[in-house]
Amino acid sequence: MLRNLLISLLLLSFVYIFYNLYVGFTPKTELDGIAAHYADKGAAEIGAANLVTAVVVTYRGFDTLGEVTILFLTASIIGFFLKLTEADENKVIIHRGTSELLVTSSNLLVPIIILFGIYVFMNGHLTPGGGFQGGAIIASAVALAILANPNMHINHQIILWVESISGVVFVLIGVLGILLAGGFLDNRVLPQGQFGTLLSAGAIPIIYSFIGLKVGAEISNILEKYQKSQKES
């Protein structure tokens, strides 16, 4: 009883704070400060049609490096946490068969979903999308494949190599920015190209493609850990 009272008291105080914030808030009528600079000069400086991508990959590229690191950290902690013993690792468990419908449709859909993921991260500088979204779409294809075939063997070595190489290339392009352009993760190491085409915005398509591969590999890695942990006794 006392517990419920305290909970409702806390929630009511939250509602009170939020109500005051809500009433006092007026939406902006024009951009100011750094956002105005991004809207005004972003396209000329970076060459990306999608300004959010320009902010994510170049203006705040360091943030993105941190994000990728956090994902890597999550994958490694989960790998450490769900580690199987030797005996469990070699165990074979018989799953109940999945439905014909799921198996057939996943055979058809998995390649298409992966292709769509690749499209999303390659066009991250032109359309809504980018490395993280594309990587998540690729991982959703892996999740569908696992659902259709619970005993599926995911090659750990491939995931490991794709993840490491993409991470190293991402940082190397960043370091090239110090040597050839304005600073770490500057996209002007490559020519800007024609605005609005696939090969434009300097290094952004390359960086975002590698981020997409890295995120896809990392999420697939996490999915594989969860799949394997079914064997745990």
Partner 1 sequence: MEFFELGKISLLIGFGLIVLGFWGILSQKNIIKIILSFTIMETGVNILIVSLGYVKGKTAPIIDSAVEQGANHSVLGQVVDPVPQALVLTAIVIGFGTTALLLAYAMKLFKAKRTLQINNFNDLKW
Q: Which is nearer to partner 1, 135 or 177 (CB)?
A: 135
Chain positions 133 to 162 lying near partner 1, rule: CB under 8 A, are: 136
CA distance 116 to 120: 6
Element (H, E) at 230: none
CB 52 within 8 A of CB 133: no
Q: Which is nearer to partner 1, 103 or 154 (CB)?
A: 154
Q: Which is nearer to partner 1, 189 or 228 (CB)?
A: 228
Pick one of 85, 107, 127, 194: the residue that binds partner 1 (CB under 8 A). Answer: 127
CB of 157 vs partner 1, minimal distance in Å = 22
Which amino acid does the sequence have at 215? V
CA distance 53 to 139: 21
Pick one of 1, 2, 5, 29: the residue that binds partner 1 (CB under 8 A). Answer: 29
Pick the piece of the chain touching partner 1 (CB under 8 A) from 92-100, 151-159, 183-191, 223-231: 223-231
Query: Under 8 Å CB-to-CB from 207, ≥6 apart: which residues?
Result: 57, 61, 131, 170, 173, 185, 187
CB of 104 vs partner 1, minimal distance in Å = 29
